Structure 1
C-alpha cells in the first residue's frame, strides 16, 4: 500500500531518498524532492515533481535516462516491468519493430527512447516511437523531458496515496 503524504513527509532523509530513487535515477530530482518536504498533500508533491523535472539540466536528464530500460527490454526494475507489461504479450512482429526502432532512435538521438508505457499497448508505443523518430533533436529532447515528467508522476502516484482516498499504509 502507498504512503500517505504525511507519512512520506515524515520519512527519514535516507528512506525518502531511497524510495524516490526507485522512481527516478536523477540525483538532482531526488534531492529536490527530498529537500522540498513537507508537501502536506499529494497534489503538492506531484507539482514539485513536475517543476523539478522541468528544471533538470541535460546531464541530470541523462542520469534519469540511465535508469530506464529500452521499451521491450526485460528489466529487474519492478516499476518498469509493470509499466511495460503490454510489450511482453505483443506479437513478435511488434516486439521486433520496437527493438529495431529503439536501435534507430538511439543512433539518431544518442539516448534511450523514453515514453510513458503505463496504460499503453505495445502497438501504441511503437506508433509513438515511429512519430518521434521524425523529430529534430531539440523537439525530441523536449518530448523526452515531458515523458520523464509523466513517468515520475505515475510512479509517485503509486508511492503516495491520493489524500481524498483516506489513510494509506506504509509498505511500498
Structure 2
C-alpha cells in the first residue's frame, strides 16, 4: 500500500503506527514517529525517523524487536531463490558461476546460523543491490566482532532498511 504524505499525516494514531510497523517492527520507534506527525515533506519524516531510531537504540529490547521483524537468511533453498536472478545475469560473465554460487549460498546459510548462535539475533544488512558474495563478505567481516559492536552495526543497517521502506510506503500516490 502506498500513501501520499498528506494521507499518512491524516491517519489515526493507530493506523499510522500500524503503517510504520510495516517499515520497522520496533514499537517504540513507530509510536515516536507517529506522534511526531504531521510532516511537511519526506525529508522531515526521514529526519524524524532517524531521531526516533536514535532514541529507540538506547534500549536493546527495541533493537531486538526491530531485528525480529526480518526473516532469517539461513535456508539454502530460500537463498538460492533470492539470488537466482543475480546468478542468471552473472552466469555469462564467469565460467562455473553456478557451482561457485551454490558454494556461496551454502556459506551464507552457515554464516547466518553462526552469527545467530554467536550474537543471539539475525544478521541485519541493507541488502539492496548486493550480490550473495557481497553479503557473505560483509557477514564474514562482521562475525569476529563483539556483541556491542554488532548491535550498533545491525542498528545502523536497520535504519538504512527502514528509510528505504518509508520511501516506498510514501511514494507518490
Q: Deviations over 1:28-64 (max 9, x none)?
A: 1110111110011100111111111122210011111
Question: What is the TM-score normalised by the length of structure 1?
Answer: 0.82
With structure 2 as the length reference, what TM-score do the two structures score?
0.81
How many residues are treated as equivalent by the alignment? 155
- Say if 1:17 and 1:30, in contact at 8 Å, map to a contact too: yes
Unaligned runs of 5+ residues in structure 1 are 75-80, 162-167
**Shift in Å, 1:85:** 7.3
Cα distance between partner residues in 2 of 1:137 and 1:14? 34
Structure 1 range deviating more: 131-140 or 97-106: 131-140
> SS of the counterpart of 2:19?
helix
Larger Rg: 2
* Residues 19-168 of structure 1 mapped to structure 2, 5 A cutoff: 19-56=19-56, 57-71=59-73, 73=75, 86-89=82-85, 90=87, 91-161=101-171, 168=172
Could you list the runs of 4 or more consecutive aligned residues of structure 1 that deviate by over 4 angstroms after TM superposition? none
Name the CA shift for 1:149/1:104 in 2 (closer, same or farther; >3 Å): same
Deviation at 1:17, TM superposition (A): 1.7
Q: Which one scores higher on RCO, CA 8 angstroms, separation ≥ 6? A: 1
Unaligned runs of 5+ in 2: 88-100
